[in-house]
Amino acid sequence: MTVTDRRGLPLTNATPVCARALDDALEDALAFRGDPIGRIDAVLAEHPDFVMGHVFRAGLLTQEMETRIYRTMVGSVEAAEALWSQANDRERAHICAVRAWIEGDFHGAVQHWETGLVHEPHDLLALALVHLTDVLLGDVVGQRDCVARVFPMWDESVPGYEFVLAFYAFGLEENRDFSRGEEAGRRALAIRPDHPYAIHAVAHVMEMQGRQLGGVHFMTERRDIWANGNFRNHLWWHLSLFLLDLGRNDEVMSIYDNNLRSGAVGGERYEELDSAALLWRLNLVGMDVGSRWADLADKWEPSATDTLYAFNDVHAMMAFAGDGRTEAQARLLTANERYLEHAGDANAAMSREIGLPFCRALQAFAAKDYRTCVDQLLPVRYMNHRLGGSHAQRDIIAWTLVEAALRAGDGALALALANERCQLKPSSPLNWRLVARAHELKGDRERARRAWARAESPLAA
């Protein structure tokens, strides 16, 4: 008798134990809990010919974007390829996707997963990998539409519907469809209140709409749900964004020290990304972060020359620039310049168009060469989606640009950029503070006074 997963998809060389373990591992992965890889490893030790076990392992590892796991990922896909003749079409689509990924063709990987979804719209693993890869690549429309193509085929009768809702919520939010995005996120939470990605999607909506006090309340009332899961660092980061906008910087520093700062070197890359992104924002608001930069730069040093993913490289540069590690900065830039001389993979385009200019801008900012920072960022600011991540994460580029203009004494440019931010999010106290400082640079005291008042107004918060 054919063994299937919970959604009725057939599994090659599977026992009911294999199927159950695969379903549980996938649920753990999407709920950001436990050790999904460890769970599937235990099954593969007993059933080494379980095709989807190898496929799951390889697919999940693509999302790590770390050099240290590359050989493990290659080993997983090679094990699956050795079983090619026994695999079904869905499993082969996964194998082809990871093989494309390993060869640097991230967009090709997405195409293979999407081809599989055309025929098997309930392939939750494929849908998750397409959506999350589109986030990594900055394919904003794809994050939404990969879900839209299969969404009518899902409802509450299909196990895992809450995960599909959360993917759709995030895709809708990133395409500025905030009301539908929040509705989908809250529907996911109604089904599964402990769903970190749904909490994450709703937090993004509130961040983009400038609902700071509501965002703080939304995150803190659910803190017992998300603060112990595998996604906790990123959700602490989201709470910090609301607090930063409100000027509650001491609370943000406390979150960093108690929840994001760890003593381990070479830890989880996602933790280090959130830490670098938060410390750089604290730097922009003028907070002295002390030895925190040194601790974080130690963690980034081993991967200074990875050139695997531009998004990682710019966060490494934040740490090196923040700590004044000029030698590490030079190694990172040299590695990227050499890489771009011959590379033709998807990351090369990301690095060339936005990653390397942003790294040079960060270096210039740390050296107090603010005019060079502006010159590096101004031409590429509308390409920032190509760096990957979310609007909220990439806002660091626009924020660094306006802060550099202010520190360079260019009041006219700073005002234009700050006005642009206020039009997008007029309830942001932080944005009004930028406007006020720009008016002060231009000598317009009355407009500066009104902007400062707007920044301090409860209505603005």
- Angle at Cα 328 formed by Cα 323 and Cα 330, nearest 5°? 120
Tokens coding 177: 């469809």
Residue of higher predicted confidence among 9 and 306: 9
Q: How far apart are CA 125 and CA 29, in angstroms?
A: 10
Crossing angle for the helix pair 370-377 and 356-366, to the nearest 10 degrees: 160
Task: Please state, in angstroms and as integers, the Cα–Cα distance from residue 117 to each residue in 112, 150, 159, following that order.
Answer: 9, 8, 16
The tens digit of pLDDT for each residue in 434-448 reads: 999 999 999 999 999
Q: Give residue 283's pLDDT.
A: 95
Q: How far is it, in rounded angstroms, from Cα 130 to Cα 150?
A: 12
- pLDDT level of residue 261 (50, 70, 90 thresholds): confident
- CA angle at residue 140 from 207 to 335, to 5 degrees? 100
- Return d(Cα 293, Cα 287) in angstroms, integer: 12
**pLDDT for res 75:** 96
Mean pLDDT along residues 85-101: 97
Binned at pLDDT 50, 70 and 90, residue 267 comes out as very low
Note the pLDDT of residue 81. Answer: 98
Closest C-alpha to 62, from 95, 22, 84, 32: 95
Angle, vertex CA 72, rays to CA 42 and CA 85, nearest 5: 75
* The pLDDT of residue 172: 98
**Prediction pTM value:** 0.95
Nearest-5° Cα angle at 93, 85 to 62? 115
Q: What percent of the chain stands above pLDDT 70?
A: 97
Rounded (10°) angle between helices 391-407 and 196-209: 40
Categorize the per-residue pLDDT at 268 as very low, low, confident or very high, splitting at 50, 70 and 90.
Answer: low
Q: Report, as an integer, the average pLDDT of 335-357.
A: 93
